[in-house]
Chains A and B, each alone.
Chain A
Amino acid sequence: MSSRTTETLEPGGHAHEHVSDPKAVKDQIEHDIYASVGKPRPLFWIALALSLGAVGIGAVCWAYQIYTGLGVAGITNPVGWGVYIVDFVFWVGIAHSGTLISAILFLFRAKFRSKFNRAAEAMTVFAVLTAGLFPLVHLGRVWFFYWLFPYPNQRLLWINFRSPLIWDVFAVSTYLTVSVVFWYIGLVPDIALARRLKQVKEGKIARVLYGIFSGGWSGSFREWQHYGQLYKYMAALAAPLVLSVHSVVSWDFAMGVVYGWHTTIFAPYFVAGAIFSGCAMVLTLVIPMRKIYRLEKYISIDDLEKLAKLLMFTGLIVGYAYIIELALAVYSGNVYEYEQFMYRMGGDYAWAYWTMMICNIGTPLLLFFRKLRRSIGFLFAISIPVNIGMWFERFNIIIISLAKDFDPYAFGLYTPSLIELGITLGSFGWFFTYYLGFTKTLPVLSVTELKEEVEHGH
Chain B
Amino acid sequence: MEYRFNNKKDFMEKLEALFKDGMRLKKMKIYMPHPEHDVEHLVEKYEKPSRLKFFTLVGGLTGCLTGFAFTTYTVFSWPLVTGGKPFISIPPFTVIAFELTILLGALFSFAGIMILARLPKISKMFAEEVHGNEYIIITDDAR
Interfacial residues, chain A to chain B (CB-CB below 8 A): 14-16, 21-23, 26-27, 30, 150, 152, 155-163, 166-167, 170-171, 174, 177-178, 181-182, 185, 189, 195-196, 207-208, 211-212, 214-230, 233-234, 237-238, 240-241, 244, 248, 448-449, 451-452, 455
Nearest A-chain residue to B9, judged by Cβ: A16
> Which one, A215, A221, A238, contacts B125 given CB within 8 A?
A215
Whether B133 pairs with A216 at a CB distance below 8 angstroms is no
- Whether the Cβ atoms of A162 and B89 lie closer than 8 Å is yes
Closest to B37 in A: A228
Instruction: Chain B residues near A15: list those with CB within 8 A.
Output: 8
Beyond A167-B95, A217-B119, A244-B98, whether A208 also contacts B126 by CB under 8 A is: yes
Please pick, from A22, A178, A208, the residue contacting B8 in the complex, using a CB distance under 8 A. A22
Q: Which of B103-122 contact A (CB under 8 A)?
A: 103, 105-107, 109-110, 112-114, 116-117, 119-122
Please give me the residue from chain B that is nearest to A151 by CB atom. B74
Chain B neighbourhood of A181, CB < 8 A: 106-107, 110
B22 within 8 A of A: no
Measured CA separation A163–B93 after assembly (Å): 10
Check B133 against A26 for contact (C-beta < 8 Å).
yes
Which 8 pairs between the two chains have the least Cβ-Cβ distance?
Answer: A216-B121, A216-B124, A158-B74, A215-B120, A221-B30, A26-B133, A23-B6, A211-B125
Residues of chain B lying within 8 A (CB to CB) of residue A229: 50, 52-53
Q: Please, which residue of chain B has its CB at the minimum distance from the CB of A179?
A: B106
Asked whether any CB of chain A lies closer than 8 Å to the CB of B45, the reply is: no
**How many angstroms from the CA of A194 to the CA of B84 in the assembled complex?**
58
Bound-state CA distance A127–B127 (Å) is 35
Is the beta-carbon distance between B31 and A219 smaller than 8 angstroms?
yes
Determine the chain B residues whose CB is within 8 A of the CB of A16 once the complex forms.
Answer: 7-9
Q: Which of A30, A208, A230 contacts B113 (CB 8 A)?
A: A230
Is B93's CB under 8 angstroms from A228's CB? no
CB distance from B16 to the nearest CB of A (A): 14
Are B102 and A167 interface neighbours, CB within 8 A? no
Given A16-B8, A158-B78, A218-B124; A178-B36 close (CB under 8 Å): no
Question: How many angstroms from the CA of A449 to the CA of B36 in the assembled complex?
Answer: 10
**18 chain-A/chain-B pairs, Cβ below 8 angstroms:** A23-B6, A26-B133, A150-B70, A161-B92, A167-B95, A170-B96, A177-B103, A181-B106, A185-B113, A211-B126, A222-B25, A224-B35, A226-B52, A229-B53, A240-B102, A448-B33, A451-B33, A455-B34
Number of interface residues of B (CB under 8 A): 68
* B127: A residues at CB distance < 8 A: 216, 218
Contact status B133-A30, CB under 8 Å: yes
Which residues in window 42-98 of B have CB below 8 A to A? 43, 49-50, 52-53, 56, 60, 70-71, 74-75, 77-78, 80, 82-83, 85, 89, 92-93, 95-96, 98
Known: A21-B6, A158-B74. A219 touches B32 (CB 8 A): yes
Cβ contact within 8 Å between B113 and A449: no
Chain A residues with Cβ under 8 A from B96's Cβ? 161, 166-167, 170
Asked whether, in the complex, the Cβ of B129 is within 8 Å of the Cβ of A170, the reply is no
| A455 contacts B102, C-beta separation under 8 Å | no
Bound Cα distance from A63 to B20, whole angstroms:
69
B116 → A minimal CB distance (Å): 5
B140 within 8 A of A: no
In the bound complex, residues from chain A placing their C-beta under 8 Å from that of B110 are 181, 185, 230
- Let me know if A225 and B6 touch, CB within 8 A: no
Assess the A171–B82 pair: CB atoms within 8 A: no
Q: How far is the CA of A240 from the CA of B60 in the complex (A)?
A: 13
CA distance A230 to B114 in the complex (A): 11
In the complex, the answer to whether A152 meets B77 with C-beta atoms within 8 Å is yes
CB of A147, distance to nearest CB on chain B (Å): 15
Q: Does B17 contact A (CB under 8 A)?
A: no
